[in-house]
C-alpha cells in the first residue's frame, strides 16, 4: 500500500502522477502525456496569477471546485477555448484528482467536490459530407509525374480507403503494409489499439508504385515523408489537401465553398461505407471507434440527406407524404 503523501506536497504528487501513474502503471501514449502536461502548465500559470502562489507552493486543497470553475472560465473567455477543449482540460484534471484521492485522504472532501464539476454540453452539428464524385476528383488531382504529387495521391487515397485519422496514417511505415495476397494495412490507433484494414486493389497498386519510388529516393522511417525525409505534420497534410481541393474545384465548383480538413475524408469514408450497405459494427471496427455511439452519427446524417433528397423530388405545392395516424389511433395513444 502506498504511503500517503502530505497535502502540502502537491508538486511531489503531480510528479508521481506523471512518472509513475501515467507512464509506468497506465503506459499512456506520449500524446496523452503532452496533453496532460499542457493542461497543468496552464493551470499552474493561472494559479500564480489568480492566487499569487508559485507552482511549488500550490496545495492540493487549492484545487477545489471554485478554483477549477474559475480556471475553466478563463480557458473559455480569455484563451477562447471551445467547449470540447475545455472538457479535455477538465478530463486531465479529473484524472489527477482520482489519483490524488488514493494518496491524500485528508483532501478527500475537497477532491469529491472538485470531481463534481460537470463537463460542458455542446451542440454536435452533423458535418457536411463529400460525394463520391468530389472525393474521386480530389484523389485524382495530384500530379503523379512529380515526387510530391505521387506521394500526395498515395497519401489521400490511403486516408480515404482506410478512413484513418491523419495522425494514424502519418505513423505508418512500409512494414505496416501487406501488399501481397490479400492487401491490408496495420494501423496503430488511439489508446495503443491496433487494427487491420483491407486495401482496395487500386490502392494496393498505388502504394506498390509509391513504395518503389520511396525506396529509390533513400531510406525513410515513415511511409509518407516530406522532401527532407522526415515525417509530415498535420499542417503539411492539410496544405497538400488544400492544393488538391483547389484543383478538383475546377470541375466541381461546390468545393470552393467547402471548408475541408483531412478529417473530412474520414467522414466521407464512413458515410460511403454505410451507403454501400456495410454493417455499422463493421464500420466502427474499420474506423477504430471504441464506442459504437460515435458511428451512429453517420446513420443520422445519411437519413437526413435522404429526407432532403425526397423533399426535392416532390412537386411544388404538394402536401407532405409523411404518415399520419388516424384519429382513433391518436385517441388510443392519449389514453395510455
Which active-site residues does the annotation give?
A: 165, 190, 263, 266, 289, 298
Sign of the CA dihedral 204, 205, 211, 212?
A: positive
Per DSSP, the residues of 177-236 read EE-SSS-EEEEE-GGG-EEEEE--HHHHHHHHHHHHHHHHT---SSSSB-TTSSBP-HHH
Nearest to 57 by CA among 116, 14, 94, 90: 14
All residues at 6 or more sequence positions from 289 whose CB lies less than 8 Å from its CB, including other chains: 283, 295
Characterize 169-182 residue by residue with b for buried, 16 or more Cβ atoms within 10 angstroms of its Cβ, and e for exposed: bbbbebebbebeee
User: How many angstroms separate the CA atoms of 332 and 217, rounded?
Assistant: 75
- Partners of 101 in the beta sheet? none
**C-alpha cell belonging to residue 75:** 480557458
**C-alpha cell belonging to residue 24:** 509506468
Amino acid at each position: 500500500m502506498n504511503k500517503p503523501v502530505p497535502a502540502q506536497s502537491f508538486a511531489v504528487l503531480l510528479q508521481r502522477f506523471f512518472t509513475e501513474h501515467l507512464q509506468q502503471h497506465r503506459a499512456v501514449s506520449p500524446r496523452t502525456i503532452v496533453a496532460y502536461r499542457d493542461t497543468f502548465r496552464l493551470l499552474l500559470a493561472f494559479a500564480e496569477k489568480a492566487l499569487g502562489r508559485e507552482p511549488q507552493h500550490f496545495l492540493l486543497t487549492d484545487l477545489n471546485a471554485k478554483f477549477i470553475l474559475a480556471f475553466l472560465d478563463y480557458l473559455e473567455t480569455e484563451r477562447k477555448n471551445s467547449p470540447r477543449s475545455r472538457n479535455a482540460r477538465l478530463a486531465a484534471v479529473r484524472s489527477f484528482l482520482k489519483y490524488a484521492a488514493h494518496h491524500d485522504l485528508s483532501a478527500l472532501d475537497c477532491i469529491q467536490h472538485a470531481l463534481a464539476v460537470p463537463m460542458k454540453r455542446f451542440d454536435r452539428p452533423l458535418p457536411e459530407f463529400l460525394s463520391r464524385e468530389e472525393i474521386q476528383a480530389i484523389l485524382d488531382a495530384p500530379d503523379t509525374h512529380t515526387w510530391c504529387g505521387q506521394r500526395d495521391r498515395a497519401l489521400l487515397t490511403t486516408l480515404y480507403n482506410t478512413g484513418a485519422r491523419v495522425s494514424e496514417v502519418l505513423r505508418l511505415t512500409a512494414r505496416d503494409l501487406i501488399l501481397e495476397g490479400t492487401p491490408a494495412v496495420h494501423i496503430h490507433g488511439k489508446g495503443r489499439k491496433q487494427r487491420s484494414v483491407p486495401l482496395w486493389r487500386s490502392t494496393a497498386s498505388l502504394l506498390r508504385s509509391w513504395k518503389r519510388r520511396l525506396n529509390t529516393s533513400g531510406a525513410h522511417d515513415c511511409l509518407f515523408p516530406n522532401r527532407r525525409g522526415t515525417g509530415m505534420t498535420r499542417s503539411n497534410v492539410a496544405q497538400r489537401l488544400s492544393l488538391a481541393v483547389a484543383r478538383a474545384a475546377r470541375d466541381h465548383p461546390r468545393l470552393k465553398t467547402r471548408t475541408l480538413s483531412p478529417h473530412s475524408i474520414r467522414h466521407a469514408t464512413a458515410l460511403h461505407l454505410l451507403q454501400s450497405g456495410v454493417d455499422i459494427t463493421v464500420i466502427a471496427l474499420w474506423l477504430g471507434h471504441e464506442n459504437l455511439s460515435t458511428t451512429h452519427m453517420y446513420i443520422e446524417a445519411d437519413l437526413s440527406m435522404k429526407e432532403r433528397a425526397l423533399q426535392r423530388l416532390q412537386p411544388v405545392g404538394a402536401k407532405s407524404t409523411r404518415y399520419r395516424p388516424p384519429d382513433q389511433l391518436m385517441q388510443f395513444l392519449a389514453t395510455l
